[in-house]
Amino acid sequence: MKKVIIALVLFALIITFTGCSSSTSTSSGITFEELGYFKKPNDIGGYIRVKTIYVSNFRDDPQVWQEIESYGKREMWEKGGFTCVFFFNDRNYTPTDGVTLAKDFDEATKFSDIPGVEQYCVAGYWHHPNGEETFTKYPLR
């Protein structure tokens, strides 16, 4: 029993010092961090998903745009579902609880309660129920 307690304490210390993060780094030096997530079933099958992602070290560079679009394309989607991902270059202006605690899609994508948020939304990615995909730079401007 004593060995189990010691092992658990050591495991907790390792986790504390190494940290747990949902961020992903790329070869261009940007990091993606998911801050808001909404998911509800829709009427035609599949799920409606909205994610807000903070992109640290963002710069207007072809490789960065490619990595952002690639990140969006990797997000979960199924036939009949709808996924949209918004990318922001300032953590303080990345919507979080308003997205995660939303009751419906309209509420999850209503960012107007954060003054000035439009200038920090650098990209949007949409995967529509029919399978069509859209990637847009600066979608809220």
Q: What is the pLDDT along the chain (141 residues), one digit of tens a residue?
A: 555 444 444 444 333 333 333 556 667 799 999 999 999 998 888 999 999 999 999 999 999 999 999 999 999 998 889 999 999 999 999 999 999 999 999 999 999 888 999 999 999 999 999 999 999 999 999
Determine contact, residues 116/137, Cβ cutoff 8 Å: no
Domain boundaries, the chain: 22-137
pLDDT at 2: 56
Q: Which two tokens stand for residue 105?
A: 């899609």
pTM for this entry: 0.81
Nearest to 78 by CA among 36, 115, 49: 49
Which residues touch 124 (CB under 8 Å, ≥6 apart)?
A: 84, 85, 86, 87, 134, 135, 136, 139, 140
pLDDT at 88: 98
